[in-house]
Amino acid sequence: KVFTSALCTTMHTPAYEFLSGAETQYYESPARLEAILHYLESNPSSFEITEHVEDFGYAPIQRVHRQDFLDYLETAYKEWILEGGHPNGVLPATIPHYKVARLGRQTPVNTLAKAGEYCFDLSAVITKDTFKAAWNAAQVTLTATKELVRVAAEYEQGLVEGTGAARSNPPGLYALVRPPGHHAQSDVCGGYCFMNNVAIATQWLIDQPELKRKDGGPKKIAILDIDFHHGNGTQEIFYTTSNPLYTSLHTRDDYPYFTGAEVEIGEGQGVGFNINIPLPQSTTDDEYVAALEKLIQEHVVPYDADYIMVSLGVDTYKDDPIAGFLVTSDAYPRIGNAIRKIGLPTLFVQEGGYCVEKLGVNVGGILQGYLG
């Protein structure tokens, strides 16, 4: 079952961004979602699409993001325009680089300064409706997560009574959303991401009082981040906790450049619950699938989670315009199948992937591979 919303394609449409200093089209575009939706709609036997979105309000978002950051996201564009900013949207001019910040780290005086405080790069343009778009993506993801709880309970019941799906056919749902989330930290946006959809949904699952493991503790979640880029946002949000487990396959030789090393293992209670597996540029199908299977066997399965959250990026694809792996469309069903073999109820949440012509078949390939 696929959860999405028309608002994902109508809201938040910056015209351009900067890549290697040059002005280019904004790659994180509505056309991405339209392409995926079109593919899924053309395979109605596999996918049921719903635009039903529940309103979970502000609380689950506030559990993950700082209020001053959220206030900034909500008000930045209006203030930016009043201050004479360009209508394309808010981007920082000065980011408090740590070498400068050690001299002084004063309170930002206007929106251009706040942009540096709350945004870490030049690829998260805030437009008139960016806050609403990010809010909507979070709500769609939460709606799908609530449904995951329901189908997971049915699945468990079926396993116990031996009536339902076998362990080899765990339920899977998909939140088809934009803007993506995994680069958004608790108090800073970047990398096309404003609110961290996967983190918000994961924390919501952990917070549900009626959802308990047999030992009485909260449900355990393993996050599997298969976007080409490292999910610095999700890592930061959960860096000091043992639930969820964050795992990521990505390259260290590209954006966001400064995070994603294997030595980033977590802190305090979180030590051992942050797993980064960097892969070289030009990684191929077999190399990628082997790394994924190893990650699953060595880290995800032993964690003994109740649910899997997949940060589903297909910017691993060989022709992605901003990435550098050599993964072909043949690999995506294999990736989906490897995730299915974990045997746990899974929510796939859309992150990156910018080769619009192949997004449908690649995302669809993962989902079909999961369904078996």
Residues 6+ apart with CB under 8 A from 87: 81
Nearer to ligand Q9C by Cβ, of 220 and 229: the residue is 229
Q: Is 183 in the site for ligand Q9C (CB under 6 A)?
A: yes
Residue 348 binds to ligand Q9C (criterion: CB under 6 A): no
Q: Map the footprint of ligand Q9C across residues 104-163, applying CB under 6 A.
A: 123
Nearest to Zn ion of 227, 236 (CB atom): 227
Query: Could you tell me which stretch among 106-114, 160-168, 191-199, 283-291 binds ligand Q9C (CB under 6 A)?
Result: 191-199
Contact between 12 and ligand Q9C by CB under 6 A: the answer reads no
User: Across-strand partners of 312?
Assistant: 350
d(CA 200, CA 296): 23
Q: What region does 317 belong to: left with phi over 0, alpha with psi -120 to 50, or beta?
A: beta
CA dihedral 172, 175, 176, 178 (to 10 degrees): -150
Three-state DSSP class for residue 66: coil
The pairing of strands 221-225 and 245-251 is parallel
Q: With left for phi above 0 and alpha for psi between -120 and 50, is residue 20 left, alpha or beta?
A: left
Near ligand Q9C by CB under 6 A: residue from 117, 147, 225, 351: 351
**Chain centroid to CA 151:** 22
Q: Which is nearer to ligand Q9C, 136 or 243 (CB)?
A: 136
Q: What is the DSSP letter of 298?
A: I
| Between 117 and 315, CB nearer to Zn ion | 315
227 binds ligand Q9C (CB under 6 A): yes
How many binding residues for ligand Q9C (CB under 6 A)?
Answer: 15
123 binds, among Zn ion, ligand Q9C, none (CB under 5 to 8 A by kind): ligand Q9C
Residue 322 is a binding residue for ligand Q9C (CB under 6 A): yes
Who's near 107: CB < 8 A, 6+ residues apart?
Answer: none
Cβ(194)–Cβ(179) below 8 Å: yes
3-state secondary structure of 365: helix
Residue among 220 and 250 whose Cβ is closer to ligand Q9C: 250
- Closest contact distance (angstroms) between CB of 372 and ligand Q9C is 27
Question: Is 52 one of the catalytic residues?
Answer: no
| Contacting positions for Zn ion (CB under 5 A) | 227-229, 313, 315, 352
Nearest-Å Rg of the Cα atoms of the chain is 20
Say whether residue 178 binds ligand Q9C (CB under 6 A): no
Q: Which of 147, 285, 315, 320 binds ligand Q9C (CB under 6 A)?
A: 315
In this complex, which beta carbon is closest to ligand Q9C, that of residue 152 or of residue 201? 201
Question: Considering only residues 254-283, where is the footprint of ligand Q9C by CB under 6 A?
Answer: 255
The binder of 183, among ligand Q9C, Zn ion, none, by C-beta within 5 to 8 A per type, is ligand Q9C
Question: Before 244, cis peptide (omega within 30)?
Answer: yes
* Contacts of ligand Q9C in 286-305 (CB under 6 A): none
The contacts of residue 45 (CB under 8 Å, 6+ apart) are none
Name the catalytic one among 182, 183, 230, 250: 183
> Which positions are annotated as active-site residues?
183
Residue numbers at the binding site for ligand Q9C (CB under 6 A): 19, 123, 180, 183, 191-193, 227, 229, 255, 313, 315, 322, 351-352
